[in-house]
Amino acid sequence: MHLVKKKLSNCSEANQNLENGRARYYKKNEAFVSIQFSAKVFNFKIQIDKMKHMKKTIILFVFTLTIQTILAQQNQPIAIIPQPVSVEKNGSHFSLTSTSRIQITDRNAEVQKIARFLAEKLFRPTGYTIPIQVNATRNGSGSVISLLLNKNSDRNLGQEGYNLDVSQGIIIIKANQPAGLFYGVQTLLQLFPKEIENKTVVKGNAWIVPGIRVTDYPRFGYRGLMLDVSRHFFTKDQVKQFIDDMVRYKYNILHFHLTDDQGWRIEIKSLPKLTEVGAWNVKKTGTFGTFSAPGNDEPRNFGGFYTQSDIRELVAYAKERFVDILPEIDVPGHSMAALAAYPELSCTPGTYKVNSGEKFMEWPASGHFYGLIDNTLCPANEKVYEFLDKVFTEVAQLFPYAYIHMGGDETAKNFWEKNEQIKTLMKKEQLKDMNEVQSYFVRRVEKIINSKGKKMIGWDEILEGGLAQTAAVMSWRGIKGGVEAASKGHEVVMSPSTFAYLDYMQGDASVEPPVYATLRLKTAYQFEPVPEGIDAKFIKGGQGNLWTEQIYNMRHLQYMMWPRGFALAESVWTPKEKKNWKDFTSRVEKHTERFEIAEMNYSRSMFDPIIQVSKDTISNQLKVDLSTEVEGLDIFYSFDNSFPDRYYPKYKETIMVPKDAVNLKVVTYRGKQKMGREMNFPVTELIKRIPRKK
């Protein structure tokens, strides 16, 4: 019994030991688990702390980057073209974000279109859908761009001026008329970073506008560009693109050169052959004016024309952008396309064909030009005036602008001189010479145009033989014609070839598409529309002309247009005393950066060196002097046929051409950056450039 009890006692003790062991085991494991858990919590806390620190670092980095961007934008020079009347920085900035809004104060249809125009421009590069609010308050989140028409007119601003205020959280553009708001928007777009020119969304960009106050209005009401669509046809969409480009720089007149020897580009429903026959020539490739005469087997399918529906669409498109279109029907010369359709309108009977770029005029170095083929309408033929009445009736109905341009330039009169009809007309009307014959024609045309409720304007040749009573003059052969017309009380648009012909070469002939004359950027910038001693009230404004004999496509057109188009824009908008060449060129460089992003073409000729050649009077050795239009450029050169870079000899003074040198090669740099094109001058060509003794 005692043994049993002892066994039971041992058993109970064993159980107790077992329980105690389990307890110790569980406690040990609990401690282990607890330690493991505590370690994990500790590690987790460390991770959280690291994440918090990283988040703070990221926030600090983004904040620092934003501040740097804002400061960079604020420190950037203001590069507005054309230069405004007044610009003042205020040290603040405006940020465009996804919560920004455009506000307008009334339901004016034109203001609403301007607001939509701005919203669309901002959407493409930012991806922000900017809402347009009418009569909304500033309450709510997000920055605001406000477009306001003045309740009380500001006399200083006129019809096209504006005030632009940029500050923290709000931009206000005020104007007397919608046109002023539109030009204020163009200035605003130039104040955004250059990435605003992107056609697709740019991610991660800060859309900062520097704090600024601008007061601005144009010097002239007429700020024109002439586009020749006759020599080479440009489509309706290309013309729209041209309009979009010109309004960026506040041009407001598109002079539309619609007819010439190479094509009649506007549908006249009462005279269908003008476009059935007159709109088409033979496609040629090479240098215009030297093409071979087309054969009878070559198809006449190159060219095109605008239907009347196209014209109405272009007029409406231009109007939305505050551009008036001045149509030109060029008569009595430059009429080969019209004569191909209706040969009975010529003084010289025969068969006529639309010119395709082959030679048909002689331009002697001295003496008057003359025609190899008669390309004129006959002033002595009454059918001509019936024809023009039909043309101008339809043109006047299509274009709401107050003026119609009748051309009148470069009329070859050698066929008139031997024509019996002309002799009879001269005797009947007591006309002394061929200039008076043309003046008779111009006066007849003016009456037709006036009868359609329009005023007439023409090239300065219409002065010859006496000026029509109410005609305005477009002065292109220098400023002389404009001076004469203004002194007689006629309205004048200054468009002298010496400053405003944008088809001229803009750099050295060795690297430019060949044209017979040169117009460098600096010369274009010197354009002054009001000649000394002339009452400014007779000068409507100025215009750049883009003739397209040698311009075959839109990329080449842009190359010829910009940056000289900047220079002319500043000459017709900016106060004369505000113009500054050095400041202008720095702004041009900023705008060409924008063109790069917008994938627009432009010329870099302003960075190319200018070369002058002479002969040393003692050694008879060739001498070369080099200079640049733009300040701060270094010129490097070589005579050993290799291509120079900035490690080659730098031009410092007149270069003597080595006796056996074959080529002079030059290039410009600014610091380490290559600026100009590599230019090669064969010594044989340099010799030809030595000025001839008079």
Query: Catalytic residue positions?
Result: 260, 334, 410
Alpha-carbon distance of 88 to 91, in angstroms, equals 10
Alpha-carbon distance of 530 to 203, in angstroms, equals 48
Two tokens, residue 452: 């359609």
User: Could you tell me if 377 and 346 are in contact, meaning their C-beta atoms sit under 8 angstroms apart?
Assistant: yes
Alpha-carbon distance of 533 to 485, in angstroms, equals 13
DSSP class of residue 553 equals S
Amino acid letter, 103: Q
Two tokens, residue 15: 């159980």
Residue 547, SS3 per DSSP: coil
Alpha-carbon distance of 545 to 549, in angstroms, equals 12
Instruction: Characterize 239-259 residue by residue with b for buried, 16 or more Cβ atoms within 10 angstroms of its Cβ, and e for exposed.
Output: bbbbbebbbbbbbbbbbbbbb
Closest CA to 354 of 306, 390, 304: 304
SS (H, E, C) 391-459: HHHHHHHHCCCCEEEEECCCCCCHHHHCCHHHHHHHHHHCCCCHHHHHHHHHHHHHHHHHHCCCEEEEE
Amino acid letter, 158: G
Backbone angles phi, psi at 489, to 5 degrees: 85, 15
Closest CA to 182 of 115, 130, 242: 115
Cβ contacts of 157 within 8 Å, gap of 6 or more:
150, 163, 175, 176, 180, 215, 217
Cβ contacts of 623 within 8 Å, gap of 6 or more:
613, 614, 615, 616, 654, 655, 656, 657
Instruction: Characterize 557-583 residue by residue with b for buried, 16 or more Cβ atoms within 10 angstroms of its Cβ, and e for exposed.
Output: bbbbbbbbbbbbbbbbbbeeebbeeee
Closest CA to 259 of 282, 275, 239: 275
Rg (CA), the chain: 36
Q: How far is CA 436 from the centre of its chain?
A: 40
User: Could you tell me if 630 and 563 are in contact, meaning their C-beta atoms sit under 8 angstroms apart?
Assistant: no
Cβ contacts of 170 within 8 Å, gap of 6 or more:
94, 138, 143, 144, 145, 146
Which residues of 341-391 form beta strands (DSSP E)?
Answer: 361-362, 370-371
Closest CA to 263 of 326, 325, 339: 339
Number of C-beta neighbours around residue 114 at 10 A: 27
